[in-house]
Structure 1
Amino acid sequence: MAQEKVTFQGLPSRICWLGYGERKKMGLAINELVRSGELKATVVIGRDHLDCGSVASPNRETEAMKDGSDAVGDWAVLNALVNTAAGASWVSFHHGGGVGMGYSLHAGMVAVADGSELADERLARVLTSDPGMGIIRHADAVRVMNVPLCDFCSPSFYMQRIFS
């Protein structure tokens, strides 16, 4: 239907699922492709709201958190603030997200790969800290339940690496 109603559909979008650390590598690789001229335009990198660090949605993404914090909206707000501080090009905050108005909070973000050294820095920070919020959230939920954590699962371990 959109093709019938809208003459110009824009450029094709692509999606891929990347783990912690892989997003940063991909963002920097894309920025290098723009810098070298292999890609002729700036690339906008975003993500869906499936990262638990960016969402408070007790009926979907954050259902059954170990500490019962399914609906706690603090993490979504913190995610938006951290992405802003990390240098995201666009940060949004909204609710609804496919589960109904008032039933979820979501923080969105976009980072731009324009080939510059500044973009390298911003992409590295944003594409590390954004998914890192989900790791920290789950680590915090387990810690609250007094389940022993190994060193590599502790929030301080990830905070040192995200912001160093």
Structure 2
Amino acid sequence: MDQFRLQVNGKHHQVRAPRDTPLLWVLREQLGLTGPKYGCGIGACGACTSIVDGQAARPCVTPLAEAGEHDITTVEGLSEHGDHPVQRAWIELDVAQCGYCQPGQIMSTVALLAANPDPDDDDIDRALRDNVCRCGTYSRIRAAVRLAAQYTRKAQS
């Protein structure tokens, strides 16, 4: 077992695991963060999406050995009280049906809005195209992204 130092949600953690352990397992099993979900294990569904150095990333396919020098944010790290603009929009528009994919959808949206504070529908579709929602709440997700963009722009002005 190797020892690694991670920065997750603004806090430093020491973890021990084999270097090829997927970051997702460390986040969930060692750090107790249940927001990133296991969906496919091959980076195809987006249920585990987290932010790594400001970019949407898939911890299910990120080896622990590659994670140590990066700033990692999971949905739990967005805000203490669930009042991040994206979380507020999701709640206001009652986006989640089963909720399994929603942390990944939210984190992909956070990355999108950091890069593009005023996305159009094509931008939204491109940014979230690899996040699968088995319940099919895509129209509510898109509406929530638009609302979160409004909240974010308002907060920045």
The normalised TM-score by structure 1 is 0.24
Larger Rg: 1
The normalised TM-score by structure 2 is 0.25
